[in-house]
Amino acid sequence: MAPSIRLSPAARSLFDEPLAIAVQGLGPRQQVTLRTSLRDETGELFQASARYQAGDDGELDLARSPALPGGSFSGLEPMGLLWALQPQKPFWRLVKRDVQSPFLLQLEVFEGHGERPGQLLAQAQHERAFLRDGVRRVPVREGRIRATLFLPPGDGPFPGIIDLYGTGGGLPEYRACLLANHGFAVLALAFYSYEDLPKGMKEFHLEYFEEAVNYMLQHTQIKGPGIGLLGHSKGGDLCVSMASFLKGITATALINASVANVGAVLHYKDITIPPIGTDLKRTKVSKSGIADIIDVLNNPLEGPDQQSFIPLEKAECCFLFIVGQDDHNWKSEFFARGKRLQAHGKEKPEIVCYPGAGHYIEPPFFPMCAASMHLLIGKPVMWGGEPKAHCEAQVDAWQQIQAFFHKHLTGKPSETPSKL
C-alpha cells in the first residue's frame, strides 16, 4: 500500500476548527518529515515542517505521535503544522483579505529527516474556509458607515456584535465572519484608511461609531436590547470609549487593549480626549533592527496624561479583558487591572491572562506573528509571544469570548455549533 495522508474533515474545514492529520501506508517505524505550505492572497509563502516516526504498523497519527526535535516544533502537537506556519518573507503577518475564498493548505510527506527533503511519499490539499455554509455577507454603506455585516444561517434575531481591529486600518473581516459562524450577527467596522474614510489616524469622532451602534440596534435581525463590542489593540480603546459614552452596549470584550486613548484625538459632542503622550526615545532596538516599543507610552495615571484616560466607569456594560502577558506593544495587563471600575462600585471586569501570549491574539490556529511593520512607527516592531503558548491562548480566548457574549447577549451558556 502506497503512503497516503488522511485528513478529518477530509477536504474542507473552518479555519478555527481543528484538523486531524494522519499518514498511513508507511513502513514500520519509518522516519518521515511532514511539511505544510500555504500562500496568502499576495502570494507570500508560509511553511512549517516536523519530523516524525511511524508506529510499528506503519501508521502515523499526529494526535498520538509526538514530533521529534529538529523541525518547526516538537512534542505532541496535533495542530502544530498549522500554528507553526512561518512566512518566508521577514516581518510578514498572515491575514485573510477575502473571506469568501478559503486558504489552500498543501501537505507533503517526505522520506527521512535530512536538512533537505527526501523523496516525496505522499501529498494532499485541504481548504481552510472562513464562511460556514449559509452565513450571509452583507456590505453596509448606510450614512457614513463603511462596514460588512455577517449574519448566521436561519431567521434570527441574533445577538449582535461590532468588531474593531487596530492601527492597520482598512476593513478586516476574518474575525467577524468566523464569529458569525458561531451564531452571532457581527459588523466588521472600518474606521480609517478605507474607501472615503479618513486616510490617517489624526482624529476620530465617536458619532461615527454611534451611527454603527444605532444601525445594529435598529436592525431587524439583531436581538436587543443591547449589543456587544469586540476590539483588539487600537480597536480596543475605541471600544472602551464607545462603552463609556454610548447607549445600547451590553458587553465589551477587549483583546490587549488600552484604557487610555492612543494615537489620535477623540471627539464626542463637546468632549475631547487627547491621545496619551509618547516618548520614542524609550524604544529599544534589537541587534536585528526590530523595535521594542513597550515603554513608549506614558503612564495614563500620572500628570497631564490622566486627560487621556477614558472614563470607563461611565460604562453600563460588562467587560472582558483578554491579556497576553508577553504583549510588547504596550502594557496590556497594567491597563486591564486598573481599579477605576471597582472604585465606582461597578461589576468587576473579567480578566483572562495568558503567559507567553503576545499582542496579536487572533482566532485559533493563526500562526503567531512575532514581529511585523508598524504603520505608526514606520519600522518592524516586536509583538511578543512564544509560539506554542500563544497558539494555546488563541484557542482558549476564542472560547472565552464566545462564552462571554452568549452569557451577556443571550442569557444562555454557549452551545457548540455543528460542523461545516
Residues assigned a catalytic role: 233, 327, 359
Take residue 255 and report the three cell numbers written for it: 483583546
Distance of alpha carbon 102 from alpha carbon 97, whole angstroms: 10
Location of C-alpha cell 505550505:
37
Sign for the CA dihedral angle at 97, 98, 102, 106 comes to negative
Distance (Å, rounded) from C-alpha 308 to C-alpha 276? 5
Q: Which of 303, 313, 321, 328 is nearest to 380 (CA)?
A: 328
The 3-state DSSP class for residue 251 equals strand
Reported as type and span, the H/E element at residue 241 is helix 234-245
Name the one residue in this structure whose C-alpha cell is 482598512: 170
DSSP secondary structure, 313-381, as one string: GG--SEEEEEEETT--SS-HHHHHT-SHHHHTTPPPPEEEEETT--S---STTPPP--EEE-TTTSSEE
The Cα 385–Cα 387 span in angstroms is 6
Q: Where are the alpha helices (DSSP H) in 181-252?
A: 206-218, 234-245
Residue pointed to by grid coordinates 498572515: 94
Question: What cell was used for 184?
Answer: 452571532
Q: Tell me which residue of 209, 225, 221, 300 sits closest to 262, measured CA to CA.
A: 300
Q: 54: which 3 cell numbers?
A: 511511524
